[in-house]
Amino acid sequence: MKAESPNGGKARVILAPAMVGLLSHEAIGHTVEADFVLAGSVAAQKMNQMVASELVTLADSGTSEFVEGAGGTLPVDDEGVRTSRVDVIKNGKLVNYLHNRETAAHFGVEPAGNARAWEFSDEPLIRMRNTFIQPGNDSVDAMIAGIKEGIILTALKAAKPTRQANLCLARAKCVAFVTENLPSLYKG
């Protein structure tokens, strides 16, 4: 199979459904955990700013809103806080971080049940539960038609974030497109 390496820089990206959860978790979720925010995450400088398209609402919830019994489902966290939905990004704007009781008090907000411990004897840490991007209404064809040039990310073996919001992708499968000339495969 012949495939070119992608050019570096910014690009419009359409995510296949399987990629949405992975990238929401790794690229955004960890950067908005308030302990990481206090340690210098890039999200610390972005509150109430546009960080995504106005079409994007990213949420974290203690209940599974789309798949019953998903892995992050829990009624209360490990500090005894009832879980609730947190809109992290609302219509493209960063509006919330994820908190435990301590960071919620620091930021003057209510905790929403994000304190999780690995074992009963471990200290609870701020962690995501069910993190997702609210589904939109556009078809893939409509999304492609609205972008002159971009990439469709269809598969990924691994992703590793840094505090500065750099994301290293391992063995990605991407399809590049120019609206008049669809598609060409990129290697990654």
pLDDT in tens, 142-166: 888 878 777 777 776 666 665 555 6
The enclosing H or E element of 154 equals strand 149-155
Joined tokens for residue 12 = 């419009």
Joined tokens for residue 175 = 């399809």
Confidence check: pLDDT of 110 > 80: yes
User: Does residue 92 come out as left (phi exceeding 0), alpha (psi in the -120 to 50 range) or beta?
Assistant: left
Domain positions in the chain: 12-186
The pLDDT tens digits for 33-62 are 999 999 999 899 999 999 998 999 999 999
d(CA 137, CA 150): 20
Which segment, 78-82, 133-137, 154-158, 168-172, is predicted with the most confidence on average?
78-82
The pTM of this model reads 0.80
Per-residue confidence (pLDDT) for residue 9, from 0 to 100:
75
d(CA 117, CA 60): 17
